[in-house]
Structures are given as C-alpha cells and as structure tokens.
Amino acid sequence: MTSANGEGATAALSSADSPVKLQEERYSPFVRVTLRQWSKWYLDGTETFWPFTDIAIRFFIGMWYLRSGLVKATDWDTAVLLATNDYPVSWMEPVTAATIGLGIELIGPILLIAGFMTRPAALAMATLTLISQAVYIPTTTNLIVSAMLIWYVFHGPGALSLDRVLASGLKTSALPLARPATLAWEWSRANLAPVVMALLRVWMGVTLLTYAGVIEPSVAVQTWLPTTIYSGFPDWLAVVFAVIFFIGIGATFVSYALFFLIAAFMIAGAHPNVTLFPFLFLGLYDAKGAGVFSIDRAILAWLERNILFDRNYADIPDRWPHVVVVGAGFGGLAAVAKLKRLPVKITLIDKRNYHLFQPLLYQIATATLNPADIATPIRSLFKGDGNVRVLKGEVQGIDAATKTLTYGDGQTLDYDRLVLATGATHSYFGRDEWGPFAPGLKTIEDGVAVRASILNAFEEAEASGDPERIERLLTFVIVGAGPTGVELAGAIAELAKVSVEREFRTIDPASARVILVQSGPRILPAFPEGLSEQATASLEKLGVEIRTGGRVTEIAEAHVRIGDDVTIETETVLWAAGVAASPAAKWLGAAADRAGRVEVNELMRVIGADGEPIPDIFAIGDTADSKAWDGNSVPGLAPAAKQAGAYVSEVVEAELLGKPCPGPFVYKHQGSLATIGRKSAVADFGAFKLSGAIAWWLWGLVHIGFLTGARNRVTVAVNWAWNFFAQHSGVRLITEKQV
C-alpha cells in the first residue's frame, strides 16, 4: 500500500519508470518546460478571452455612439442648429453635415456591435469622432474611442462576429471583389494591425512623458494626447510606465497594473470623471499585445525558435516523446489539455470525430436539444496546438511489449506513453438480446434514434384505430433509476404533458404512461435517502409511475416482464440500468473488475495479469477501476474523469523530467446532481444538499459550464430559455428509423 505522504507512489514510479525522457539540450528540461507552459498558458488565455473582450469593446463603443444618435434623431432641429453654430464643418452645409453625422451614429453602432462590415463602420465612426475632436470640444473620451476604432479598421472584429463567420464563405464566393477584399482584410490583420498597436503604444508613452512634464509639446499637439487618464499619478511612476510602453514589454502586466492604478486614483478622488473607455483600451492592449518592434514580440519569436516548435506538426523535433491518448471524452481531453504544454508530440485517437457531452444526451432523445448543441468537433478544440494530432479510428489492440497499438484498418502507431480513456458502453447483464428492444444512450446516433422512437410512438398512436395498440404505444418504460433514468422519465413526461399536449387530434398525449423501473428499493440509490424521496415526489407529481424492488426478467418487442408475474405492454423501452467498460482490458490482457474496468494502481497505471503495473500505460475515467475515493471505486462522472486526466498528465511530466511524483491520485468528489423536470432537481454536496427550483438552476449552470465551446454554451442556454418560457420543444424531428 502507498503511504499517505506519497513515498510508496514514488517507489512505484521508479519501479515502472521508462527510459524515455526528455533529452538534454541547450536548455535544461525544467527551463524548457517552465517556459513552454508559461507561453502556452499566456497564448491560450489570450485566445480564450479575446472574443469576449472584443464584444465588450464593440458593444460599449456602439452604445456610446447610438445614444448620441438617438438624442439627435428625436430633436432634429437642435441637431441642425448644433451643426450650424457649435461644431460646423467648413466644407459642408449644416444640414448635410448633420445628416451624415446622424447616419453614422445610427447605422455605424449597429454594424459595429453585430461585427458586420466592421471596418467601414469603424472608419466612419472614427472619422466623425476625430472631426469632433478637431472642430468641437476636445475630450479624452474622443481620443481613446478613436484610437480603438482605428485599430479595428486594420484588425477587424474577433471570432464572435458576422464578419469572421462569413469570411471563409466570402473568400470562395462568386461575389465581385469578395475574395480579394477578404484576403486584404486577413493580410491587414496579420501585418498592419500589429503596427497600429505599436504606434498606439508609443502614443501612450508620449502621453505619459507629457503628463510628467518630461517633454512639453505644443498646445495643439497636447489636444491629441489623453493625459487626463493618468490624473493623480506621481511623475516618476508616469515616466516608468512611459519607458515600459516605449520598449513594449509585459503588455498583460502593464494593462492590469494601469487598470488597478487608474481605478485606485479614481476612488481616491484624484481622477476627474473617468469613463469606461480607458479600461477597454487597456483590455485591448492586454489581449492583442504590444505589436511589432517590442520586447514582447522579440521574446515570443525566441520562444518560437527555441521552446515552442509546434506551430506546424512537421516542425516538431523527433526527439520529443510521443504520447498517445485513446478517447476524446472528458478524461482524454483533460489529459491532452495539460500534456500539450509539455514538449511532447500527442496523438489523440477516437472512433468519432466529435467530443460528446453525454450528461445532456437524454435531451437529444427527448427533443429538447439538437445534437450539435452538445457535441464539438475534436479537431476544432486543438486547432491552435501544432503538437496535437487527431486521428479518427477505432483501436483494435495494444502490444505493450513493442509499445504499439493497432487501429483502423490495421494501421499501427508507436507510443512512449499511452493514456486509455475509452469510456463505457451499455451492459445488459448478459442479456444482449434485449439490446434491439431497449436501446441505451451513449452516442449521438443513440440519442437521435431514441428521439425518433419516442416521437414515432405518438405519430403511430395518432394514426392507429386500435385502442389496445394506442395504449401500448403511449406507454414508455425506462429501466434503471439512476440520474439518466430519472432525467429521461421526467423529460418524457414533460414532452407528453406540456410540449405536444395540443398537437394531436385523436389521441391525448397527456394520457401517456411513463414507467420507471428500479430493481433496488429506491430511485437514485447513490444519493441520500432524503433526496431520493424528494425526487420520487417530483416524478410522481409529473405523473411518472415508479416501480421499485422488481428486476426486469424479459424485454420483447411489445412487452416488458418484471419478476415472474408483472407484464407491461409497451413498444418503447429505454435502457439506463448498467454500463460496461470498453475492451481495454482484453487489449492488454490486464486485470479487470466485473464491469470490465481495468485495474490501476495509485498512479493510474494499468495493472497487468501478473499483478505488476504495465510500464507507460495509464487508464482513466470509465475505463479504470481506481480506488482513489477513500478506498472506494471512483464514480463514472465527468469531474472524476477530468481529475484523473489532469493527474496523469502530471505523472507523465514527472516521469519525463525526472521530478518527484505528485503522489497517489485522490478523487475529490464535487457533488452529484440530477434533474427531474421543469424547476425540479436534487443536488448532493455531502454536508450540503439542495432540492427543488434552486437545485434545478444550479444543475443548469453546472452543465452549461461543463459544455465545450462558447457556441454550445450559448445555444443550449437559448434553447433552454425558449423551452422554459414558451413551454415548447422545437427539435421534434424524426430523422432516423424507429428503434
């Protein structure tokens, strides 16, 4: 056994360690890994947060202009009067100037916020603001807003914009000038925008030196310097930041430092009428860096040449160890997310090309969500990581002696480290003949097929004139009352009694029977008894019939038998009673538990048939039988798989660098959640338990947070809101044959 201080784990690591390590080079492995991880964290963070920073900047600038435009539109006479007397444009008639200005202030903001024709809109708005700065009252806000808009003219909006969404389509379209314009925009973003950012950086440096009195430009020049941003700053501090801006170092740290300093001086009363726009400008500087001719750019170039190496897969040195991860579930993705920051080549293999959020698969089956809402192409998750290669293929075998695996049509792949995260499938407890009559939910194909089966039951009942068959068609049986079974039962009941209640003419969907069968004494057996009772009450309120204490003994095309004497006539049976692990144990000839899960030691290393750990092979998630939960088996939950994936990456890093082992894996239970229906759920966090509407909101927030990708989070939230308020499910499409 491993001692609590991890000494046994270190010994286990040494006994099973591999000779494959990071080779000595010009820079020590520790230095290279540290710099690489810092670089990847910085670059990944910038890439992650920039789309949201971009939206905030475009929104607030747009609203600032739009508010002015609406005021003028509601009082046109005053707008013309202002154009005539207060800020006349010498080369335009007042009415013409007012009309053009109003058009820019009304149309430009809408285009900017939507990210459509962003560059022309930004150019028009910047021109209007600069004219106002030149001929009307000069303000710091005008200068900062104009600076950001000029940068947008050259860079364009971020990923969450119509311009970026339409760019690839326009590039290949037949529209006149569409391709050259799109290519010009891309070239400008890559080559001119960094120059503009560098000029803005110098502009800020000059502003700080002017504020500190180091230089004294003419009054006309000072009109174009936003010195009031730094009101309250000591002169020496302004000079320090001016030097930092001039040399362009630490854009992120400089942005945060100025953000808090300006806020502090504002709170202290030393700052006059500060607005949001200086902070937005600092957010832009933080996200997009210092631009060209900066120390930051030189550091990044050095890292590219000496540390990163992975912008292109072909450029990765052959000396880098090869880590193969099988399975793109929660555990596999968590492992790759941390391993990719090491100087290693990674191959991620999955038999499908998407990552699926399985906890919400039942909502595909019950017509609440679309498949694309809970699935993300694997390649898109690692498109910015050149050292990660994604392969679509199904593994057939593993040769631990030669450290190769076979996949696809007999292709082989060598590995230095192997992580098995292959998940689980349905288990009918030796009665596989039930499969065709009682499908489970593990894949998108399963979800779409079950949805077709449920919806077809209503359609066929509407068309049938046989009362007995109608009753059989409108009887839905779910076998297994864990979280999946409970959620399915509640969702089907709501579908029948709410979503389609008034859509049929000869049948009453609300009369449908939903029967939840559990062999044990209560539903949700993994939850405390009190929460189980509350879940039972919520399901019964929805009209779900709960049958506990009876084991299913037969499933056929038109009936289910419970025990020896209870028969339920039904044509729709759904299986949520058990799972079996992937055949990883058979591939390796390794020890496994009754469910087929591979036995692992405290380091998540696979234990072979001889009882010894197999070098360089790890298993995580539903593939592994780990006793890391206070001596009990780790549950098959997404957080457990993610924790194991992150842990294994730490073990691999320790092995490759010769560092001390992180210690045995310890699963930290983050709670269990199950939703029952509209505004009802249960949540168990140990000493802290919730039920009802509060638990339902928490369940929704947690599941949205676990989804992969901003698009999926937004679409799921929108669909849930629509379904909740409209009480209507709009994904009732039958696209597969009935199961």
- For residue 395, pLDDT over 80 is answered with yes
pLDDT for the residue numbered 6: 38
- Separation of alpha carbons 410 and 401, rounded Å: 18
- Reported confidence tier of residue 12, pLDDT bands at 50, 70, 90: very low
Terminal-residue alpha carbon distance, the chain: 48
Helix (H) or strand (E) holding 561: strand 559-562
Place of tokens 């529209």: 175
Q: In terms of Cα–Cα distance, which of 477, 239, 455 is closest to 365?
A: 455
For residue 350, what are the β-bridge partners? 392
Q: Which segment of 157-166, 349-358, 396-405, 642-651 scores lowest on mean pLDDT? A: 157-166
Amino acid at 107: I
Residue type for 695, please?
A
For CA atoms 330, 334, 340, 346, give the dihedral sign.
negative
- Please count the CA atoms within 13 angstroms of the CA of 145 that sit on its side-chain side: 28
> Residue 87: is its pLDDT beyond 80?
no
Question: What's the CA gap between 507 and 714, in Å, rounded?
Answer: 36
Quick one: pLDDT at residue 4? Answer: 35
Verify whether residue 569 is a known catalytic residue: no
The 10s digit of each residue's pLDDT in 182-223 is 889 989 999 999 999 999 999 999 999 999 999 999 988 999
Specify whether the CB–CB gap between 157 and 49 falls below 8 A.
no
pLDDT digits (tens, 9 = 90+) for 574-592: 999 878 888 888 899 888 8
| CB neighbours of residue 228 within 10 Å | 17
Strand, helix or coil for residue 292: coil
Residue 29 above 70 pLDDT?
no
pLDDT of 304 strictly over 50: yes
Residue 176: the pLDDT is 81
Task: Please tell me the distance from the alpha carbon of residue 355 to that of residue 705, in angstroms, as a whole number.
Answer: 15
Which pLDDT value is given to residue 77? 80
Ramachandran assignment for 358, one of left (phi > 0), alpha (psi -120 to 50 degrees), beta (any other): alpha
Q: What pLDDT shows up at residue 18?
A: 45
Mean pLDDT of 231-256: 93
pLDDT at res. 26: 53
pLDDT confidence band for 318 (50 / 70 / 90):
confident
Alpha carbon distance 148, 197 (integer Å): 9
Among 42-46, 153-157, 615-619, 677-681, which stretch is predicted with the lowest mean pLDDT? 42-46
What number of CA atoms fall less than 13 Å from residue 635's CA on the CB side?
A: 12
pLDDT exceeds 70 at position 25: no
Residue 107: the pLDDT is: 94
Distance CA 686, CA 702 (A): 17
Q: Is pLDDT at 13 greater than 70 in this prediction?
A: no
Name the catalytic one among 105, 487, 599, 653: 487
- Report the pLDDT value the prediction gives residue 736, as an integer from 0 to 100: 63
- Range with the lowest mean pLDDT among 268-272, 527-531, 570-574, 669-673? 268-272
Average pLDDT over residues 430-445: 90
Residue type, 346: I
For residue 76, pLDDT beyond 60: yes
Of the pLDDT bands very low, low, confident and very high (cuts 50, 70, 90), residue 66 is very high
The CA-atom distances, in angstroms, between 47 and each of 288, 345, 383, 385 are: 9, 22, 12, 12
pLDDT of residue 713: 83
- CA 648/CA 258 separation, integer angstroms: 39
**Position 503 confidence tier, pLDDT thresholds 50, 70, 90:** confident
Confidence band, pLDDT 50/70/90 cuts, at residue 309: low
Residue 193 to residue 635: CA distance in whole angstroms = 50
Please check whether residue 624 is in contact with residue 597, taking contact to mean a CB–CB distance below 8 angstroms: yes
**What is the rounded distance in angstroms from the CA atom of residue 165 to the CA atom of residue 162?**
5
Q: Are 262 and 271 in contact (CB under 8 A)?
A: yes
> CB of 669 within 8 A of CB of 480?
no
More confident residue, 185 or 90: 185
For residue 463, what pLDDT is reported? Answer: 94
Lowest-pLDDT range of 29-33, 147-151, 277-281, 614-618: 29-33
Is residue 686 a contact partner of residue 528, using CB atoms and an 8 Å limit? no
**Separation of alpha carbons 90 and 732, rounded Å:** 62
**Per-residue model confidence (pLDDT) at position 10:** 35
pLDDT for 165 beyond 90: no
Average pLDDT of the residues in 258-276: 79
